[in-house]
Structure 1
């Protein structure tokens, strides 16, 4: 019998799933946008110089190499006609085994297995949630209806239902022929099987509608058909929503009964929650305003009612939580999606006793902005920014990353250079780490007495514990390397001449934006409030600025029992913020008594009042204090740049000193600058 892992013995214990044995209890969850990146598109919609299929391959390789027990390829449609959701598809052609995609998938399965991982695919039918992309094909769902966007949903006929089952069988056989060991069938998040189960969607009067058993029949018969076609040695996993967390939506009791009906035909149950059309509010994707691992307890209830393994997904970013959930018998396996973007080596680091080196997902939504839940027929291709890279993982190779060239193909340094990094915030820290790892001699100068920069404010708010962990990790990583750190050291032209660096990276951050408003000096800054542990706010406060900084600050003040009113000049709060996260912050403010005035231009500030112009009238708001959270502006670097350039030294500017933005911009620009120093 294999010796148990000394750090996380239950997490790294093998698991029997059907007739197969998985090497550990960690699944790399099916990830959006793995599917169409196996299709060669000309021109490529993201403008990559590296072939997109290679990026998809490398993304999955990072997960397998990083130690995942199961690696699941996400969101493939068994029928790319009525399930087509995006304009730049088609999906894989499951009727062909002689095309390039089939060969790529064979190579991918072999690669995953070479690392001891178990390759699985995921099949997803969107049903009536098919996006109107102008292809003239109506969506199909359980029942006929008209959607708000004008689309007409056609009801599946019984013949079409049986044909749908065969589409799944064809896809499963294709996967099996390509060397994949199993399939996950998505039965949650409001997709087609869940639509048949839900009385909100399913108004049928035949054997597929009415009673719970009838509404579950679509899924049960589908699974039975697939099992009979595939035999006992092909693993079948289903993903379910423990609750849709929507008014009138499916609840935990429904999920339990659903799983009991499905159990005879499947090998594992993967418990998620929520609904695609309200990703934030339903916790399909959790944010910093939701607990970590919210599906563990519901999964435990399901596990009590079945005799097959149960996995939980959602907001799990620590091996400690995963170990406890498995050791306590609540679940058998953890599944992680975004965490594998943040750090695909999560399993190996935990297994080898380096859990403190794991870059833990911030749940910020940068990798997947998602539908906001406020405009339920809109998807990211219509309203929201394109998928971006991970905030904290500049090394990522997943298909929607910012790199135009894969990291390991960037030029190697010609020599070890003396590199001066000015500024010890997250961008400067990442620059120093990467430059040191590239063999350079790094001097990191920080004007204050501590590293961390602006994100040191996270020491004072529980909502930002994940960012705090990231900040602390960066500092630890710097301390582990031969990096010379100089605190309380303001870099001047004289110091640059003294150090005589061969390359300089300016990462000096940003300053509070102080607008020319009468009495603005009466307001304290949002960062000062954090530094003072919220002292001085009184019982009530007014926050000037309803952007992300102001709204997150307001959420923290509300959390500390302070009556808070936000004043915003534009017509809505956080108009520049992506869907998922914007909704989460907005909902927290709304549900906890926060107030706000929009279309309100501040014209005067007192110590305990604000005067604003709104709709042609003057309004006065009173409170115990006023906080300036109107934003930040890049810190001036002209004098330093001039001195550096006059000395003929290459210089890079990164992060907020270019333009005040977000953590991910500073981290990626710091990494890129360090990689460009050769």
Structure 2
């Protein structure tokens, strides 16, 4: 931790409009699905935890401004007047904790499929919604006026509910960016054509809110720095638009991407860190002294501090980092940055929202469950034995130790981490190594007794005399048939002599074990063909991770054959056969298979000891990392009754 990150600009007070913020850290807005129509107690607890953790400003998740913006359940109806009272619990909680709070207000535009709203998608012009047959409705001038009033009414309700201001969402392909962008605005009236005309609706909204609520009510706008869309807004266009908006607002929040480049909206771990910083810097140079907020894969306080020092932005927006660790700011302020639980940008959070489920975090099982967290009452320390130092076992051991238990952690291999070591092997997945390093630091700072290279037997277990056992021995690969190696072995460091490798998805998971092995093989000089029987690629990964994966495959020459299977041939070739029985021969190729995993088994030397045993993670059933961490944490925190888990 550098001295500048400890005591520098990041933690310095900063003024935004009428608001004096205690520091420059902003919780950036993101959907949670923790409330439907009306603000909820769950959402209040979620924001309270981040305010208590020390952030300067919270930007509440987007609330919709008009019935035509209803895209799905789990959205707060910002235009519903009952929210004026419902918001109070949240705004009061945030203010009591010392933070300010504004609310993002949005019209979803063409990202409405009509299922919930039973209306066509409103947009400046007729545009086809990607992946559907639906065409948006070109709004009339009267409908534009109706939406402008919807933004104003929503802002009124926010003010009545105790918010310090609003942030108007004019980015990411939603309605207002649809007006701003020449790629989607083909109007010939005074809302289309020139940049001044295309910006008109946003200025009308801002000015109407200002006239209604006055200069003390903060107004920000989320703008794009680059639409990354053919025919869309380029960085120069975005600077020009920002300069038109800046005199009317208290801050600008800079992002990038659109529906045509949706993978940039919530960039996953393979994207460069701080991908929007230079875009924000260009806008800041044009709009100063209006403050500029930047978001987008800012992983640590050192990066945040450098952005401020180099004057690319005035405020640092964090969303996923604060989902993972609500105490992020407090830990920076105390100099305990090594205690920050890292976001690895795996995007389980985005995946849950995209799947129309409540937000979950892979690395923080408690996200969204703040109301359920209870203080462990003082009790006699237990002797907890954790068998297996993979993610589930590490989480169980650290949680039990933090609760005052005497913990021994056994691991049969020579290092901790389990499957994290394999998962983080490809260059594009090395962010996962941050979580592994976090666990190493936490173990070193704890009182946990770690024993590596140990295969426990009954005598050892009896000598340890545990009062409870957490079994976290993980999964093992399904043995491959008719193949040289498994993907598991490749990710573990096994090498191949063959130049050509055919990698087959036998398990059918269509997920990261397959793709990570393909990338690792390509990165080490092999010519790789991925073969899958699936009809669509990447159904086992988060949707926004697929475009960057395909770009990496293209750059490395990785070939993908769907609707196909690979067959070994005795003459040293691999035959790839598709669903119509067409065959392609790959000479001199080695066949590697992703054969899947199975539980390592729950039976062992611990049977018959008369000690409560709880299985967690993949030994219970091979699943996702998020589930392993959640089960490990619950096991580490659990109180045990005479007959097992209470």
Per the TM superposition, whether the score is higher than 0.5 is: yes
Q: Distance in 2 between matches of 1:116 and 1:649?
A: 47
Paired residue for 1:674?
Answer: 636
Query: What is the rounded CA distance, in whole Å, between the counterparts of 1:442 and 1:361 in structure 2?
Result: 26
Deviations 1:444-491 (A, max 9, x none): 101112222221236644323321111111122122121111111112
Alignment match, 1:30: 29
1:596 alignment counterpart: 560
Match of 1:226 in 2: 209
1:449–1:487: 8 Å Cα contact kept in structure 2? Answer: yes
8 Å contact from structure 1 (residues 34, 73) kept in 2: no
**Structure 1 spans left out of the alignment, 5+ residues:** 41-52, 372-378
1:578-612 CA distances to partner (integer Å, 9 max, x unpaired)? 31224432342234321122233334278964344
Match of 1:374 in 2: none
> How many angstroms apart in 2 are the aligned matches of 1:145 and 1:564?
38
> Residue 171 of structure 2 contacts residue 223 of structure 2 at CA under 8 Å; is this kept in 1?
yes
What is the aligned partner in structure 2 of residue 45 from structure 1? none
What secondary structure does 1:75 align onto? strand
Shift of 1:92: 4.0
Match in the other structure for 1:49: none
Equivalent residue number for residue 62 of structure 1: 49
For residues 162-185 of structure 1, give each alpha carbon's deviation from its aligned partner in whole angstroms, at most 9, with x where no partner exists.
332222222222222222111111
Distance 1:394 1:305, change over 3 A: same
Residue in 1 that maps onto 2:171: 188
Q: Name the SS of the counterpart of 1:391 in structure 2.
A: coil
* 8 Å Cα contact 2:388-2:473 kept in structure 1: yes
Q: Who is 1:124 aligned against?
A: 106
2:267 equivalent among 269, 281, 286: 286
Partner of 2:643: none
CA distance in 2, matches of 1:177, 1:459: 48
Q: Corresponding residue for 1:295? A: 276
- Which of 319, 333, 336 is the equivalent residue of 2:301? 319
Residue of structure 2 aligned with 1:84, choices 57, 70, 74: 70
Size of the alignment, in residue pairs?
631
Q: Secondary structure at the match of 2:101?
A: strand
Are 1:584 and 2:565 an aligned pair?
no
Indicate yes or no: 2:362 matched with 1:391. yes
CA gap 1:331/1:90 in 2 versus in 1, 3 angstroms: closer
Pick from 416, 419, 432 the counterpart of residue 467 of structure 1.
Answer: 432
1:547-578 superposed Cα distances (whole Å, 9 cap, x missing partner): 42111221233334432211223334333323
Q: Distance in 1 between matches of 2:5 and 2:345?
A: 29
Partner of 2:626: 664
**Cα offset, 1:655, TM superposition:** 1.3
Task: Please say if residues 570 and 599 of structure 1, whose CA atoms lie closer than 8 Å, have aligned partners that are also in contact.
Answer: yes
Match of 1:16 in 2: 15
Report the alpha carbon displacement of residue 190 of structure 1 after superposing the two structures with TM: 0.7
After superposition, residues 526-565 of structure 1 pair within 5 angstroms as: 526-532=487-493, 536=496, 539-545=499-505, 547-565=511-529
Match for residue 331 of structure 1 among 306, 313, 321: 313
| d(CA) in 1 for partners of 2:571, 2:216 | 72
Q: Secondary structure at the match of 2:431?
A: helix
Would you say the 8 A contact 2:475–2:618 is kept in 1? yes
Q: Is 1:33–1:75's contact at 8 Å kept on the other side of the alignment?
A: no
Matched, 1:259 2:223: no
The CA distance in 2 between the partners of 1:243 and 1:500, in whole Å, is 61
Q: Cα distance 1:355–1:608, how it changes in 2: closer, same or farther (>3 A)?
A: farther
1:394 deviation in Å? 2.0
The answer to whether the 8 A contact 2:502-2:566 is kept is no
Distance 2:123 2:55 in 1: 35
After superposition, the C-alpha distances for 1:493-542 in whole angstroms (9 at most, x for unaligned) are 33223322121111111222213x33x3xx2344444454x754564433
Equivalences for residues 195-594 of structure 1 within 5 A? 195-276=178-259, 278-280=261-263, 283-307=264-288, 308-369=290-351, 380-381=355-356, 386-396=357-367, 398=368, 406-408=372-374, 412=377, 414-457=379-422, 460-515=425-480, 517-518=481-482, 520=483, 523-532=484-493, 536=496, 539-545=499-505, 547-594=511-558
Contact 1:369–1:581 at 8 Å: present in 2 too? no
Offset from partner CA, 1:242-273 (integer Å, 9 cap, x none)? 11222222211111111011011101110111
The runs of 5 or more residues in structure 2 that have no matched partner are 641-646
Question: Contact between 2:499 and 2:526, CA under 8 Å: does it hold in 1?
Answer: yes
Distance 2:125 2:469 in 1: 63
What TM-score does the superposition give when structure 2 sets the normalisation length?
0.91
- Larger deviation: 562-571 or 334-343? 562-571
Residue 179 of structure 1: aligned partner: 162
**1:32-59 CA-partner distances (Å, limit 9, x unpaired):** 036735738xxxxxxxxxxxx2211111
Mapped to 2, the partners of 1:6 and 1:593 lie a distance apart of: 41
Q: Is it true that 1:153 corresponds to 2:153 in the alignment?
A: no
Tell me if structure 2 keeps the 8 A contact 1:507–1:656. Answer: yes
User: Which whole-Å CA distance do the structure 1 matches of 2:498 and 2:135 have between them?
Assistant: 55
Displacement of 1:418 in angstroms is: 1.3
Paired with 2:514 and 2:128, the residues of 1 have a C-alpha distance of 40
Q: TM-score, normalised by structure 1?
A: 0.87
CA contact (8 A) 1:547 1:630 kept: no
Aligned partners of 2:244 and 2:144: how far apart in 1?
A: 19
Alpha-carbon distance, 1:90 to partner? 6.1
Check whether the contact 1:119–1:182 (CA below 8 A) recurs between aligned residues: yes
Give distance in 2, aligned partners of 1:608 and 1:75: 58
Q: Secondary structure at the match of 2:29?
A: strand
Q: CA RMSD in A?
A: 2.6
Distance 1:524 1:145, change over 3 A: closer
Kindly tell me: are residues 665 and 90 of structure 1, through their superposed partners in 2, closer, same or farther at Cα, counting changes over 3 Å? closer
Counterpart contact for 1:413–1:677, Cα < 8 Å: no
Q: CA distance change for structure 1 residues 500 and 618 in 2, over 3 Å: closer, same or farther?
A: farther
The 8 Å contact of residues 71 and 119 in structure 1, kept in 2 or not, is answered as: yes
Asked whether the 8 Å contact 2:424–2:431 carries over to 1, the reply is: no
In 1, the alpha carbon distance for the partners of 2:313 and 2:127 equals 39
